[in-house]
Amino acid sequence: MDRPLAAALTLLLCVAAQKAGGQMARADGERKQSPHPSALKAGRCSYTFIVPQQKIAGALCSNTQPPTANQSDVAALRSELQRQQEQLEKLQRQLDYEGSLATEVRALREDSDGTNSRVAQLYAQLLREVTHKKEQALENQRLEGLLLNATTQALQVTSSYRDLEKKYGELTSMMSSQNQFIAKLEKQCQCRDSSQPSLAMTEPPKSHNDERHNDSIRDVQRDQSAPSHQPQEKTHGDPSLLPSTTSPPTELPFVGFPVTKSPGPWRDCQHVLDSGETTSGIYLLRLQSANRLFQAWCEQSQAQGGWTVIQRRQDGSVNFFRTWEQYKQGFGNLNGEYWLGLEHLYWLTQQAKHKLRVVLEDWQGRQVFAEYDSFHLEPESDWYRLRLGQYHGNAGDSLSWHNNKAFTTLDRDKDGYAGNCAHYQKGGWWYHVCAHSNLNGVWYRGGHYRSRYQDGVYWAEFHGGSYSLKRVSMMIKPS
């Protein structure tokens, strides 16, 4: 009984070992592609047992081997390993992705640092260029100021030279007149008795008075280069007639004087007309309010006469781009283009209420006029501010816009514009911001002109600001 039981147990153990070897071989086959041959040999059983048939009741044997893993556990283990492998691969991919992100972030940071450095360089370069441009602008302004000062000084030197020429002409004429007067006195002394020379010798002091009288009109604005008028006749009669032969108007070199009944001086050109002088020309005027002598052209042929011409443009022979002092004292040629002078205008309009007439002519010969029923200037302390009355005429009103405005020149900026209107308009005028009229501008030939600024001789209501008129004149008379 014991031998068959032992054989059965041995067979059972062999079969169990073979199953276990087969399961292990399958498990290893899942891990490896080629199983080891010794593993297959270990699972084989080469024993042959002959077991007699017998009826066995009850337990025959017990398995002393440890319990083997079943198939479900192996499958669970396999799935768990696979899941962990997938998680490991997923973590590896995520790690690679985060590594690439970190690399890109580092590259972006490097690019950002380079960009910031470049921006800083560009900003520094821009700052240097702006500073350089500002320095250039300041240098240009300084050079413009120097050029303007040089131009002003050149104009002043030119004006001084002309004044010296006038004074030289006056002195030459005065010396000639005194020599003639002395020669006349010598001839008179030879014809008189011993009592008469004493009367004749009293005349030279009047000659000295004439010299002081001549000094008071040394600023007359016209060409004084022509020779002086000679005395018309000698006086051999009463000595009381001698002063008339040495009257200042006939001795001074006033070229272009009309033949008059009286040498003057007159209060204004209306006084000249009232005195019976109806010829247009240059007359000597005396300002009663200021006791000043000056010359002016009296226009007696227009609008009932009696007009004192204060400004005239006709051929561009005189430069009207002048300084304040020149506009104050006057300049030009009384036979042609000239400006009478702001100071003379002020004192003239202080004597009586005056009206203004502006006469304009274009290059086609058309003449128009503008009149204002009142006209006067404020004193220099108020920059010769313009005061105008009501307008009437056929030229259009281009001066009322300048009413109550101060006079402006290139060296005295009194206009309402941020810059200097006189600089752009090339003249002196009662500028506002800037002008509707500019009769002291540049005289352009032919009418329409091309310039960077509207700097011609224009009247905006008559042909506009880009048309330079051929002839203009401003004249006043008591109203």
pLDDT per residue over 186-210, tens digit each? 776 666 544 433 333 333 333 334 4
The answer, yes or no, to whether residue 31 has pLDDT greater than 90, is no
> Do 172 and 273 share a domain, yes or no?
no
Reported as a pLDDT band with limits 50, 70 and 90, residue 248 is very low
pLDDT at position 81 = 92
Residue 70: which of 117, 38, 27 has the closest Cα?
27
Residue 314 domain-assigned (yes or no): yes
pLDDT of the residue at 52: 61
What's the Cα-to-Cα distance from 258 to each of 82, 110, 254, 269, rounded to whole Å?
A: 134, 97, 10, 13
In a domain, 263, yes or no: no
Distances (CA, A) of 270 to 41, 294, 300, 309, 354: 156, 15, 9, 11, 11
Last residue of a domain, one of 147, 178, 209: 178
- The CATH number of residue 335's host domain is 3.90.215.10
Q: How far apart are CA 281 and CA 296, in angstroms?
A: 8
Whether residue 308 sits in one domain with residue 436: yes
Q: What mean pLDDT is predicted for residues 309-315?
A: 96
Of 161, 178, 195, which marks where a domain is finished?
178
Question: Per-residue pLDDT tens for 208-234?
Answer: 344 443 343 333 333 333 333 333 333
In the chain, the number of structural domains is: 2
Phi first, then psi, for residue 309 (nearest 5°) are -75, 125
Residue 288 is assigned to a structural domain of this protein: yes
Helix pair 71-191, 204-215: axis angle to 10 deg: 170
Full DSSP string of 231-278 = PSS---S-GGGHHHHT-HHHHS--TTPPP-SS---BSSHHHHHHTT--
User: What are the distances in angstroms from CA 361 to CA 251, 337, 365, 398, 471?
Assistant: 37, 15, 6, 15, 5
Task: Read off the pLDDT of each residue in 21-37 and give the average, rounded to a whole number.
Answer: 47
3-state SS, residue 77? helix
* Residue 149 lies inside a defined structural domain of this protein: yes
Question: 363 in a domain, yes or no?
Answer: yes
Claim to verify: residue 288 and residue 424 sit in the same structural domain: yes
State the pTM of this model. 0.49
pLDDT at residue number 287? 82
- pLDDT score of 260: 59
Kindly state whether residues 153 and 292 are assigned to the same domain.
Answer: no
Evaluate whether residue 186 is within a structural domain: no
292 lies in the same domain as 149: no
d(CA 456, CA 437): 9
Are 165 and 314 members of one domain? no
Tell which residue, 409, 413, 407, has the closest CA to residue 379.
407
* Per-residue pLDDT, 30: 46
Token match 């090339």: residue?
A: 426
The domain containing residue 415 runs over which residues?
269-478
Contact (Cβ atoms closer than 8 angstroms) between residue 306 and residue 270: yes
- Among the candidates 178, 194, 219, a domain finishes at 178
Q: What pLDDT digit, counting tens, does each position of 111-156 carry?
A: 899 899 999 999 999 999 999 999 999 999 899 888 888 888 888 8
Above 50 in pLDDT, residue 65? yes
- Residue 96 domain-assigned? yes
Q: Are 300 and 306 in contact (CB under 8 A)?
A: yes
In a shared domain, residues 287 and 421:
yes
Pairing of β 386-388 and β 367-377: antiparallel
> Is the per-residue pLDDT at 254 higher than 50?
no
Confidence of residue 431 (pLDDT cuts 50, 70, 90): very high
Q: Looking up tokens 């005429």, which residue turns up? A: 393
297 against 234, higher pLDDT: 297
Q: For 399-414, what is the mean pLDDT?
A: 95
The 10s digit of each residue's pLDDT in 345-382 is 999 999 899 999 999 999 999 999 999 999 999 999 99
Residues 325 and 428 in one domain: yes
DSSP string, 298-324: EE-SSTTS-EEEEEEESSS-S-----H
Residues 275 and 149 grouped into a single domain: no
How far is 286 from 264, CA to CA, in rounded Å?
Answer: 9
Q: Is there a contact between 252 and 173 (Cβ–Cβ < 8 Å)?
A: yes
Domain contains 36: no
371-377 long-range contacts, CB within 8 A, separation 24+: 372/399, 372/400, 373/479, 374/479, 375/349, 375/476, 376/346, 376/349, 376/350, 377/342, 377/345, 377/346, 377/349
My answer on whether 168 and 275 are in the same domain is no
